[in-house]
Amino acid sequence: MTVRTSLEQAAKSVMDALTPGESQPDILETLQAEHDEVQELLEKLVKSDAAREQKSLVSKIKQALVPHTKAEERVVYDAVLALRGKDAKIDGNEGYIEHGLADATLKKLDNLTANTPEFKAAAKVLKELIDHHVQEEERNIWARVKENFTDDQREQMNRDFLAAKKKVKGA
Residues that bind Fe ion (CB under 5 A): 72, 137
Nearer to Fe ion, 46 or 101 (CB): 101
Distance CA 64, CA 106 (A): 12
Nearer to Fe ion, 74 or 124 (CB): 74
Cα separation values, 66 from 95, 133, 134, 149, Å:
14, 14, 14, 25
CB of 167 to Fe ion, least distance (A): 17
Residue closest to 66 by CA, chosen among 137, 166, 145 = 166
CB of 95 to Fe ion, least distance (A): 6
Q: Are 54 and 123 in contact (CB under 8 A)?
A: yes
Distance CA 46, CA 61 (A): 12
CB of 138 to Fe ion, least distance (A): 8
Nearer to Fe ion, 53 or 136 (CB): 136
CB of 69 to Fe ion, least distance (A): 5
Q: Are 17 and 156 in contact (CB under 8 A)?
A: no
Q: Are 168 and 71 in contact (CB under 8 A)?
A: yes
Nearer to Fe ion, 119 or 149 (CB): 149
